[in-house]
């Protein structure tokens, strides 16, 4: 199965959750990019929406797609947020941030009346943690913060405790987020209680935000080779 086709099918299904006149959170990543392009097609056909991008990359794509945009400072509420995920478990807890936009993504998701997660079906897991957990941190004292993140993994009985600074390019320069921070990738391997790890990370001075999204997703759309499966959270 082509993972990209599955992502496209998930993004296509998410259009059903966007209605005329809505303010729409626009996620970041490859699956979200499909959604932004498809939404742009609907806008050109007459759909009236305004988007709130979660990254500069998404802003650029939305502008190219013809979607009218609002600054986050211009909104007090967002009708629906459509975003991808790196992992999703049966409790609709997510790992996000592989694309480096977790802080802005969480701000937008938290301000939304409904969060719709779009992903290929391979992102559905029984236990979070195989995908490294992104943690956005202040550049000041990041090595100290890294060690405390490692201790948090141990203290919450995760399956691994390796934590590395995210780098890129031939020179292996640190990745800088849109918020001008660093990202640590925590190789937890398995996270027995995501709520406990999330709370432990929040208590660390220097941690700006972590990629555990808990009690935010209402709907998960899992793309397949043909179509998509929609899962709704029973708590909502």
Rounded Cα distance between 47 and 117, Å, is: 21
- As for how many domains the chain has, the answer is 2
Show the tokens assigned to 122. 């391979």
Indicate if 9 and 121 belong to the same structural domain.
yes
pLDDT at res. 144: 98
- Write the DSSP assignment of 109-132 as a string of letters: HHTBS-EEEEEEGGGB-SSTTSSP
Show the tokens assigned to 99. 């694309």
Q: Beta strand pairing status for 87-88 and 80-83?
A: unpaired
Out of 87, 105, 136, 209, which one is annotated catalytic?
105
105 is catalytic: yes
| Residue 138's CATH number | 3.30.70.260
The reply to whether 203 falls in a domain is: yes
pLDDT tens sequence for the chain (236 residues) = 488 999 999 999 999 999 999 999 999 999 999 999 999 999 999 999 999 999 999 999 999 999 999 999 999 999 999 999 999 999 999 999 999 999 999 999 999 999 999 999 999 999 999 999 999 999 999 999 999 999 999 999 999 999 999 999 888 999 999 999 999 999 999 999 999 999 999 999 999 999 999 999 999 999 999 999 999 987 66
SS3 of the chain: helix, strand, coil, percent, to 5: 35, 25, 40
Q: What is the pTM of this model?
A: 0.95
The reply to whether 233 falls in a domain is: no
pLDDT at res. 169: 85
| Local structure of 180: helix, strand or coil | coil
Indicate if 50 and 90 belong to the same structural domain.
yes
Burial of 95 (0-12, 13-18, 19+ CB in 10 A): buried
Indicate if 28 and 119 belong to the same structural domain.
yes
Domain that holds residue 147: 133-208
Rounded Cα distance between 139 and 119, Å, is: 31
> φ and ψ at 98, to 5 degrees?
-60, -30
Contact 153, 170 (CB under 8 A): no
**How crowded is residue 134: how many other Cβ atoms within 10 Å of its Cβ?**
27
The reply to whether 86 falls in a domain is: yes
Indicate if 112 and 223 belong to the same structural domain.
yes
| Local structure of 213: helix, strand or coil | strand
């Amino acid at each position: 199965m082509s993972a990209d086709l599955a992502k496209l099918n998930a993004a296509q299904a998410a259009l059903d959750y966007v209605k005329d006149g809505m303010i729409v959170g626009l996620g970041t990543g490859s699956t979200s990019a499909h959604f932004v392009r498809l939404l742009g097609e609907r806008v050109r056909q007459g759909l009236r929406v305004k988007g709130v991008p979660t990254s500069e990359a998404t802003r650029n794509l939305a502008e190219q797609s013809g979607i009218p945009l609002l600054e986050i400072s211009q909104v007090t509420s967002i009708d629906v947020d459509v975003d991808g995920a790196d992992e999703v478990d049966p409790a609709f807890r997510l790992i996000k941030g592989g694309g480096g936009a977790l802080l802005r993504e969480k701000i937008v998701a938290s301000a939304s009346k409904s969060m719709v997660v779009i992903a290929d079906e391979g992102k559905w897991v029984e236990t979070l943690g195989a995908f490294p957990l992104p943690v956005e941190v202040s550049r000041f004292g990041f090595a100290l913060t890294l060690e405390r993140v490692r201790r948090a993994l141990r203290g919450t009985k995760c399956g691994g405790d390796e934590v590395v600074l995210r780098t890129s390019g031939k020179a292996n320069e640190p990745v800088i987020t849109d918020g001008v921070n660093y990202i640590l990738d925590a190789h937890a391997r398995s996270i027995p209680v995501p709520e406990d790890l999330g709370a432990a990370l929040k208590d660390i001075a220097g941690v700006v935000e972590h990629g555990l999204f808990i009690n935010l997703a209402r709907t998960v759309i899992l793309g397949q080779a043909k179509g998509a499966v929609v899962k709704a959270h029973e708590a909502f």
